[in-house]
Chain A
Amino acid sequence: MAKLIWFGLKCILLCSTVGAVFEDQVGKFDWRQQYIGKVRFSHFDAHVQSSKKVLLATENNVFASINTKTGELFWRHVDMTGPEGNIDALLHHGQDAVLVVGDGRQLRSWDINIGGLNWEIVLDSGSFQAACLVGYQDTVKHVAVLKKTVISLHYLSNGHQKWIENLPESETVDFQAVYSGGNGEVYVLGVVPHSHITIVAYSLEDGEIIKQISVEAPWLSNIQASCVVIGRGMLTCVDSAAVSLYTLDLHVQSQMTQISLQSLELEATPGFQPVLVSTQPNPALPPLSEFFLQLGPEHHLLLQLNSGQIVTLRDFKPAMLVAFASPGEKTVAAVMSPKNKTACSLNLFSAESGRRLLDTTLIFNLDPYGGKPEKLHVQAFLKKDDAVGYRVMVQSEDHTLTFIQQPGRVMWTREEALSDVVTMEMVDLPLTGTQAELEGEFGKKADGLLSMLLKRLSSQLILLQASIAHLWKLFYDARKPRSLVKNDVTIENLSRDEFNLQKMMVMVTASGKLFGIDSKTGTILWRHYLDNIPSHAAFKLMVQRTTAHFPHPPQCTLLIKDKDTGLATLHVFNPIFGKKSQVTPPALLQPMLQSLMLPVMDQDYAKVLLLVDDQYKVSAFPSTKNVLQQLQEMASSIFFYIVDSDQGKLSGYRLQTDLSTELIWEIVMPTEVQRIVSVKGKRPNEHVHSQGRVMGDRSVLYKYLNPNLLAVVTESTDLHPERSFIGILLIDGVTGRIIHEAVQRKTKGPVHIVHSENWVVYEYWSTKSRRNEFSVIELYEGMELYNSTVFSSLDRPHAPQVLQQSYIFPSSISTMEATLTEKGITSRHLLIGLPSGGILSLPKMFLDPRRPEIMTEQSREENLIPYAPELLIRSEWFINYNQTVSRVRGIYTAPSGLESTCLVVAYGLDIYQTRVYPSKQFDVLKDDYDYMLISSVLFALFFATMISKRLAEVKLLNRAWR
Chain B
Amino acid sequence: MARPLPFKIAAVSTVLFVVCTNFVFCNNGRRVGDVMETEFSGFSVPLEHSFEVADVAKFRVRGALMLKAGREPSVSLTQSQLSEEDRAKLKEVAAVDGLYRIRVPRVFLQADRQTERQMEGYLTAFVRACAMVESHLSDVISLHTDVSGYVIGVSIVTLPGACRGTEVEDEVDLEVFNTTLSLMAPVNAPGPETALFVEQMEIETEKKGKNPQEQKSFFAKYWYLILGGAIFLMVSNSAQPPAGGGREQS
Contacts and interface: CB of A to CB of B under 8 A. Distances in A.
A868 B197 contact: yes
Interface stretch (A103-111, A181-189, A559-567, A666-674): A666-674
B205 A3 contact: yes
A741 B101 contact: no
Interface string A334-358: 0000000000000000000000000
Given A617-B2, A741-B187, A853-B193, A725 B126 contact: no
B97 interface: yes
For this complex, into which size category does the number of interface residues on chain B fall?
A: 35 or more
Interface stretch (A206-214, A277-285, A293-301, A656-664): A656-664
A727 B186 contact: yes
Contacts of B194: 808, 869
A727 B191 contact: no
A441 to B, nearest CB: 44
Nearest to B187: A742
A663 B186 CA distance: 26
Contacts of A742: 186-189
A435 to B, nearest CB: 45
A795 B189 contact: no
Contact of A741 (B144, B160, B163, B201): B144
Contacts of B204: 3
Contacts of B99: 654, 664
Interface stretch (B16-24, B58-66, B151-159): B151-159
Given A3-B205, A741-B184, A664 B124 contact: yes
B130 to A, nearest CB: 10
A728 B189 contact: yes
Interface centre among B119, B125, B200, by most chain A C-beta atoms within 10 angstroms, is: B125
B212 interface: no
A667 B123 contact: yes
Contacts of A740: 187
Contact of B155 (A654, A736, A743): A736
Nearest to A649: B121
Contact of B124 (A663, A728, A869): A663
Nearest to B149: A673
B105 to A, nearest CB: 11
Contacts of B196: 853
Interface size class on chain A is: 35 or more
Contacts of A738: 142, 144, 152-153, 155, 184
Contacts of A743: 147, 186-189
A691 interface: no
Contacts of B108: 670
Contacts of A768: 191
B12 interface: no
Given A656-B55, A660-B2, A742-B186, A736 B153 contact: yes
B153 A867 contact: no
Contact of B147 (A663, A727, A808): A727
Contacts of A127: none
Contacts, number: 143
A741 B186 contact: yes
Contacts of B197: 853, 867-869
Interface string B160-183: 111100000000000000000000
A684 interface: no
Nearest to A808: B192
B106 A853 contact: no
A670 B121 CA distance: 11
Contacts of B187: 740-743
Given A673-B150, A728-B189, A736-B155, A797 B140 contact: yes
Contacts of A666: 121-124
B146 interface: yes
A791 to B, nearest CB: 12
Given A656-B55, A797-B157, A665 B201 contact: no
B214 to A, nearest CB: 10
A735 interface: yes
Contacts of B136: none
A398 interface: no
Interface string A726-768: 0110010001111011111100000000000000000000101
B192 A673 contact: no
A756 B78 CA distance: 41
B38 interface: no
A274 B7 CA distance: 55
B131 A794 contact: yes
A727 to B, nearest CB: 7
A768 B101 CA distance: 43
Interface stretch (A481-489, A799-807, A811-819, A910-918): A799-807
B128 interface: yes
Contacts of B140: 797
Contacts of B163: 795
Contacts of B152: 667-670, 738
A338 B143 CA distance: 69
B190 interface: yes
B147 A673 contact: yes
A384 B186 CA distance: 80
B114 to A, nearest CB: 18
A822 interface: no
Nearest to A669: B152
Given A797-B157, A867-B193, A853 B200 contact: yes
A615 interface: yes
A401 B144 CA distance: 56
B147 A725 contact: yes
A509 interface: no
A636 B97 contact: yes
Contacts of B97: 636
A742 B197 CA distance: 24
A665 B158 contact: no
B27 interface: no
A636 B190 CA distance: 40
Interface string A770-811: 000101000000000001000000111100000011111000
B148 interface: yes
B201 A736 contact: no
B110 to A, nearest CB: 11
A369 to B, nearest CB: 40
A869 B193 contact: yes
B238 to A, nearest CB: 37
A716 B150 CA distance: 14
Contact of A665 (B121, B125, B161, B191): B125
Interface string A421-450: 000000000000000000000000000000
B189 A775 contact: yes
Given A742-B187, A775-B189, A797-B160, A668 B2 contact: no
A489 to B, nearest CB: 48
A795 B190 contact: no
Interface in A639-663: 654, 656, 660, 662-663
Given A773-B191, A795-B162, A806-B192, A727 B123 contact: no
A743 B186 CA distance: 6
Nearest to A809: B192
Contact of B146 (A669, A854, A867): A669
27 contacts: A615-B2, A665-B124, A665-B125, A667-B152, A670-B119, A673-B150, A674-B147, A716-B147, A727-B186, A728-B189, A737-B157, A738-B153, A741-B185, A741-B186, A743-B186, A769-B191, A787-B162, A794-B161, A797-B158, A797-B161, A805-B190, A806-B189, A806-B191, A808-B194, A853-B197, A869-B192, A870-B192
Given A664-B99, A738-B184, A806-B192, 10 more contacts: A615-B3, A668-B153, A727-B186, A736-B153, A741-B146, A768-B191, A797-B159, A797-B160, A805-B193, A853-B193
Q: Which 6 A-B pairs have the closest CB atoms?
A: A797-B161, A667-B153, A737-B155, A869-B192, A742-B189, A741-B186
Interface of B: 2-3, 55-57, 97, 99, 101, 106, 108, 119, 121-128, 131, 140, 142, 144, 146-148, 150, 152-153, 155, 157-163, 184-194, 196-197, 200-201, 204-205
